[in-house]
Each structure stands twice: as C-alpha cells, then as structure tokens.
Amino acid sequence: MVEVVDYNWTVTGEPVEGKETLSYSFDSPGEVTFEVTVKNEAGKTNITSPTVQVIGQKTTVTLLRPKRHPKCRHLRK
C-alpha cells in the first residue's frame, strides 16, 4: 500500500500548519471551509473540503486525517 507523505491544509482559503490532524480555534461563529490536500509517495493527490458551522465563540475544531475510502483508488499505486 502507498503511504500518504504530505498534508496541506487551508482554513477558508488561508494556509495553516497541520499534519494528519488539524486543530483550529475560532473567536466568533460562522461557516468555515477546511481543505486538505494529501499526497502519497507515488505523487498522487486528493483533496477534500469539509464545511462546518461554528456556533459558539471561542470554539476549537479538530479535524482528523481523511480515512481511506474503497472507491478512492487514485491514491493507490
């Protein structure tokens, strides 16, 4: 199996530091789009973009690495 070697995260279009997981804190409510681009050791990439609704002030959201899906064969050799 080919392993993921790189994770690139953005929060509402702005790059942020993160590896397999990302924790991000918000000062105010609103809709936020996260995007993670993963790259495997074979150079294949995949992007996922979950949107969350932050409903409280001083909220921290933690996203875990994307799980492998059987239909996502494009990230395999």
What are the domain boundaries of the chain? 4-65
Q: Tell me, what's the pLDDT at 59?
A: 85
CB atoms within 10 A of CB 7: 17
Q: Tell me, what's the pLDDT at 67?
A: 58
Q: Tell me, what's the pLDDT at 57?
A: 80
- Amino acid letter for position 56: G
* Token pair of 61 as six digits: 């959201």
CA distances from 72 to 14, 31, 51, 55, 60 (A): 26, 27, 20, 32, 29
**pLDDT, block means (10 residues), the chain with 77 residues:** 86 87 89 91 90 86 65 47
Eight-class DSSP state of 71:
T
